[in-house]
Amino acid sequence: MIEIIVYLSVVILVVVWCYFKWNNRHFEKLASRMPGPPSYPIVGIGLKFIGSPEQIMSKVFDLLKEYYPGPFSLWLGPYFGVAIAKPEDLQIVLNSSKALHKGRMYNFFKNYAGEGLFTAPVDKWRRHRRMITPAFNAKLLEQFFPVFNEKNKILIRNVTKELNKTQTFDLWEYIAPAALDTICQTTMGYNLDTQSNNKECEFGGAIVQATDLDAMRIYKPWLYPEIMFSMYLRLTGQQNVFDTMNKFPLQVIKEKKVKFDQIKKAINAKIDIIDSDNENQSKLFLDILFKLNIDGGNLSEKDIRDEVVTMMFGGSDTSAIMVCFSLLMLAIHQDIQNNVYDEIYEIFGRSDQEISIEDTVRLVYLEKVIKETLRMFPVGPVILRELQNDLKIFSNDYVLPKGTTCILSPLATHHNPDLYPKPWNFDPERFSPENIEKRHKYAFIPFSGGPRGCIGSKYAMLSMKVTLSTFLRHFSVHTDIKLPDIKLKLGILMRSVHGYPVTIRTRDRRPTYYKRNQNQQG
């Protein structure tokens, strides 16, 4: 009996292996023509990515350097992937109707994001994107400015306690709560107020944990099966992370739905609520979703929850990370910080007037700084697309078979020395109009690109401009660390391992060129 069982087991394994090889013959044929790291059955290159997030980030850079400029093939567990970084190839993939599917790996992110725009299957994404896009018009973005200014005033008040201290503090401790409060107010009209109450928000901490846990699964194939991941969460005591992240949005949506229904009933459901006199309620992202249901949008409670969580995650953590990196870069490069402040002074002088959407257009040099920060530290370092049909790319006329996972790397593209000489030098002038003109338009993709590009990119740029300009009007920022000291860790979002340590000083509200002239005369 034992011999029969062993024999049958061997036969089954051989059959499964032959089936796997036959189904993947197109992938293996392409892999034989392409450079790429060695892979192993079942785990692919997973063994290469054992270690801490910082060590994994280092291995990613080694891989990109070894196979520069790409493309190159690799196996993510049992799935075939092609890493792509050349702008010409990125443009083909990101704009192809054959590559709109986010891929199997994005199923991991549904633990917290559900099926919002970030993770939704193509048909659902098309329907929701069409409905939600009008919510991001210029008029709507302009009405967010009172919220931007209010939350940044609280930020300035809170961070003032760090003035003139010699010991560094982590910018994240102040910027992250401000960003979360802002997105909660602008998307849901909910005053979370973690800044004023000086309280720790479980939801904010859960976002960081949840995204890191789900991203980890991508390069640990043994955690692909849900049962294995559930066991891992229990063994590490992290099983409540996703429950914590889901609880807060559901609670708020329930409360706001009651208020929305009350308003709707009061003014009659047949009246267009978006055009009603209730300005504070009518322009909220959440209320727009509620109204879409009245107009036949057929959004379930889960659909609404998924879109709200997606927007909160996309509008808080991403913006907070980039503001922190931008301020850290300015602390390291004092000459660039002086140029930024001179521009701010030209617009506002010594006044305390609040920034308007018209003012942000004039912050041209600050925008260059933000873009250079996004180039060096793209908040989304990797983008995945799964091909629904064969697709020919520019490099070597490779034809990528249906089912290929395209691993698109803004991180690699943004550090390509052919596109950006000395890529680890911080130089905002890379984004002068003449320098932009010289590069392929897909040489810079911090918000992805094509039809599934980030819907909130304009919101992100506006909110970052407001926060950075407000911060720099009040404080000068300093640090002892150097660029090479910054260590990165890989997740859904790319973060600094050791935070964003700085000190701040009172801003002398005069242009720096005035102070330089005074010093020269002295």
How far, rounded to the nearest angstrom, does the alpha carbon of residue 38 sit from its chain's CA centroid?
30
Average pLDDT over residues 416-445: 96
Which pLDDT score, from 0 to 100, does residue 220 have?
Answer: 82
**pLDDT at residue number 280:** 44
Which residues have CB under 8 Å from 459's CB, separation 6+? 136, 141, 144, 186, 315
Q: Which H/E stretch holds residue 135?
A: none
pTM for the complete prediction? 0.89
Q: What is the per-residue pLDDT for 350?
A: 86
- DSSP letters spanning 413-465: HHT-TTTSSSTTS--GGGGSHHHHHHS-GGG--BTB-STTS-TTHHHHHHHHH
36-45, 441-450, 469-478: range with lowest mean pLDDT: 36-45
* Per-residue tokens: 391: 């697709």
Segment holding 362, helix H or strand E? helix 357-362
Q: Tokens 């048909």 sit at which residue?
A: 123
User: Phi and psi (nearest 5°) for 75?
Assistant: -110, 120
Residue 279 confidence (pLDDT): 45
Report how far residue 478's alpha carbon sits from residue 484's, in angstroms, rounded to the nearest whole number.
16
pLDDT confidence of residue 355: 95
Question: Any idea which of 152-166, 230-244, 355-369, 455-469 has the lowest mean pLDDT?
Answer: 230-244
Instruction: Give the pLDDT score at 12.
Output: 79
Query: Taking the CB of residue 307, how many other CB atoms lie within 10 A of it?
Result: 28
Name which residue leads in pLDDT, 207 or 99. 99
Residue 270 is predicted with a pLDDT of 52
Please report the sign of the dihedral spanned by the C-alpha atoms of residue 99, residue 101, residue 106, residue 109. positive
Task: Give the Cα separation of 68 and 225 in Å (integer).
Answer: 32
Q: Is 103 exposed, middle or buried (0-12, 13-18, 19+ CB in 10 A)?
A: buried
Report residue 200's pLDDT band, with 50, 70 and 90 as the boundaries.
low
Q: How far apart are CA 363 and CA 52, in angstroms?
A: 39
Residue 192, token pair as written in the block = 């979370």
* Residues above pLDDT 70, as percent of the chain: 92
Tell me whether strands 488-489 and 399-400 are parallel, antiparallel or unpaired: unpaired
User: Which of 514, 434, 412, 459 has its CA nearest to residue 310?
Assistant: 459
Higher pLDDT, 19 or 404: 404
| pLDDT mean over 161-187 | 92
In this prediction, residues 317-330 reach a mean pLDDT of: 96
Helix, strand, coil share of the chain (percent; to 5): 60, 10, 30
Q: For 12-47, how does the pLDDT look when each residue is reduced to its tens digit (9 = 90+)?
A: 777 766 766 677 888 889 988 999 998 887 778 888
Residue 276: what pLDDT? 43
Provide the b/e sequence for 357-395 (b: ≥16 CB within 10 Å).
bebbeebebbbbbbbbbbbbbbbbbbbbbbbeeebebeb
Average pLDDT over residues 337-347: 96
pLDDT confidence bin for 423, thresholds 50/70/90 = very high
Residue pLDDT, tens place only, 248-283: 888 888 888 888 887 777 765 455 544 444 444 446
Higher pLDDT, residue 14 or 217: 217
Residue with tokens 């970084």: 85
pLDDT of 199 higher than 70? no
Q: Which phi and psi angles does 513 have, rounded to 5°?
A: -70, -30
CA 160, 161, 165, 170 torsion-angle sign: negative
Q: Give DSSP secondary structure letters for 171-218.
A: THHHHHHHHHHHHHHHHH-----HHHHT---HHHHHHHHHHHHHHHHH
pLDDT score of 516 more than 60:
no
Q: Is 278 left (phi over 0), alpha (psi -120 to 50) or beta?
A: beta
Indicate the residue type of 149: N
The pLDDT of residue 328 is above 90:
yes
Give the residue-averaged pLDDT of 330-338: 97
Mean pLDDT for 392-396 is 90
Rounded to 5 degrees, φ, ψ at 81 are -130, 155
In this prediction, residue 198 has a pLDDT band, given cuts at 50, 70 and 90, of low
Handedness of CA 282, 285, 289, 295 (dihedral sign): positive
Let me know: does 410 contact 381? Beta carbons within 8 Å.
yes
- Cis omega (within 30 of 0) for bond into 446: no
Q: Indicate whether 136 pLDDT > 90.
A: no
Exposed, middle or buried by CB within 10 Å (0-12, 13-18, 19+), for 323?
Answer: buried
